[in-house]
Amino acid sequence: MAAKAKLKRRGSVRSEDPSLAKAKRFLKRIALVDGHNDLPWVIYSDPQARGDVGAYDLNRVHQDGDTDIPRLKQSGLAAQFWSAFVPTEIDHPGRSVLEVIDVWRRMNEKHPEIFMQATKSSDILKAKREGKIASFLTVEGGVGLENSLAPLRIWYAAGARLMVLSHNETLDWVDSATDEKRHGGLTEFGRHVVRELNRLGMLVDLAHVTDEVMHQVLDITQAPIVFSHSNARALCNHPRNVPDDVLKRVPQNGGVVMLTFVPEFINQAALDWARPLKDEYMKGRKDIDRAAAYAERAQELGPPPKATLEQLCDHIEYVTQTIGIKHVGIGSDFFGGDTPDGLEDVSRFPHLLAELIRRGWSENALAAIASGNFLRVFRAVERVGRALRQDDTGRLVRHEDFVKGATLFEPRWRG
């Protein structure tokens, strides 16, 4: 009996999916970058841990989440951009952003055997060589600026290297894709935010903004941009996804679109099922109990349609065919929420590459999407920042300066 069990186990090893085995071997050699994960906010907002990294205990598998150290060890990741997200309506947004940044910092301090705190593009390959994950900081949404450029420079000094201009709500200076359009895109202060990001050498992230903002940023930026977690609107008509007319401008800019795992950005049927609830929520109906509303809709219509790993790969291939392999990357947006079948948690990144292998992707194409494209963009952003900082040390600029009709300075350079 024991001999039969042993033979069965050996047989299961021999029958491992050859594409998955190839993907795992590939990730031992090639760096993998993920553009967006909200783990610092998950720890910060956890009702038990309340921002205490030790109490959250990343060393255990979190069955109610998607990111922890045991599964990160299976991910193949060489670099992760962690998001210092706070909700737009939070009290004390400036302080709250700093508190979430502090969670990221303490994650790195507590687990130096896993995370290498990172600030430079070169840290990605360094972490890969050391068998660690380069731990980068993103600030998601500009609400914490509180309408001043000064906090942006403090975030940079703290380690931030990427900023998502808005989240789900429109700010005083930038329109969000999922809220009322109030500014026709960017205000003058918003343009200064983009220019200051260029000067600092921080990545400008257009994942949450309106089409108008996307075009305006592409008009003025002096550095390549990223969409750190967005998909193709042609395949799923969500305003968070990138429309074709914007996609087709990305190659000229040199940027990268990092495809995301959010089910409602992947599967049109899943979006259609949830759209009435999303519309009510996005219109500011904060009185709605979202969990109860979803449960009621599921009772009426049945459970929401699932998104799948294969459908995400359809988005990846669509963007690749539309703008070329040099402008595609991966940005999961794991945040403890719904995930597609096949991409349930961070351990599943090799399965994504395995599906692309099954579709005939070459190793050169896989290397481009895994990290090559992002590294090129990051290095270019750093070069632009170094050049701009030679002639400009930054200035105090506030939103109200433009509202009152008095600018504090005339920029010496323009995008």
Q: Which of 62, 183, 192, 229 is catalytic?
A: 229
For 296-339, strand residue ranges (E) read 328-330
Q: What is the mean pLDDT of residues 47-71?
A: 97
pLDDT reading at 280 higher than 90:
no
| Catalytic status, residue 280 | no
The closest of 296, 306, 366, 381 to 338, measured between CA atoms, is 306
Contacts of 124 (CB under 8 A, 6+ apart): 31, 33, 78, 79, 118, 134, 371, 375, 378
pLDDT at 61 (0 to 100): 98
| Catalytic status, residue 215 | no
Left if phi > 0, otherwise alpha if psi is -120 to 50, otherwise beta: which for 378? alpha
Q: Which of 66, 68, 205, 333 is catalytic?
A: 333
Q: Which of 34, 38, 345, 401 is catalytic?
A: 38
Contacts of 12 (CB under 8 A, 6+ apart): none
pLDDT reading at 2 higher than 90:
no
pLDDT digits (tens, 9 = 90+) for 186-241: 999 999 999 999 999 999 999 999 999 999 999 999 999 999 999 999 999 999 99
| Catalytic status, residue 36 | yes
Q: Tell me the H-state helices in 114-267.
A: 122-130, 150-158, 188-200, 211-220, 244-247, 250-253, 263-266
pLDDT reading at 84 higher than 50:
yes
**Residue 290 — very low, low, confident or very high, per pLDDT cuts 50/70/90?**
confident
Average confidence score pLDDT of the chain: 92
pLDDT at 408 (0 to 100): 40
pLDDT at 14 (0 to 100): 53
Write the single-letter amino acid at 399: H
* Pairing relationship of beta strands 256-259 and 225-227 according to DSSP bridges: parallel
pLDDT at 108 (0 to 100): 98
- Domain 29-267+307-403, CATH among 2.60.120.310, 2.60.40.3880, 3.20.20.140, 3.40.50.300: 3.20.20.140
pLDDT digits (tens, 9 = 90+) for 129-160: 999 999 999 999 999 999 999 999 999 999 99
The closest of 158, 169, 156, 255 to 208, measured between CA atoms, is 169
Q: Which of 62, 183, 192, 208 is catalytic?
A: 208
Domain ranges of the chain: 29-267+307-403, 271-305
pLDDT at 153 (0 to 100): 98
pLDDT at 304 (0 to 100): 87
| Catalytic status, residue 38 | yes
pLDDT reading at 282 higher than 70:
no
pLDDT reading at 109 higher than 50:
yes
Q: What is the mean pLDDT of residues 12-18?
A: 68
Q: What percent of the chain has pLDDT over 90?
A: 84
**Residue 298 — very low, low, confident or very high, per pLDDT cuts 50/70/90?**
confident
| Catalytic status, residue 92 | no
For 118-186, strand residue ranges (E) read 133-140, 160-164
Greater pLDDT, 291 or 248: 248
| Catalytic status, residue 315 | no
Q: Which of 167, 183, 192, 315 is catalytic?
A: 167
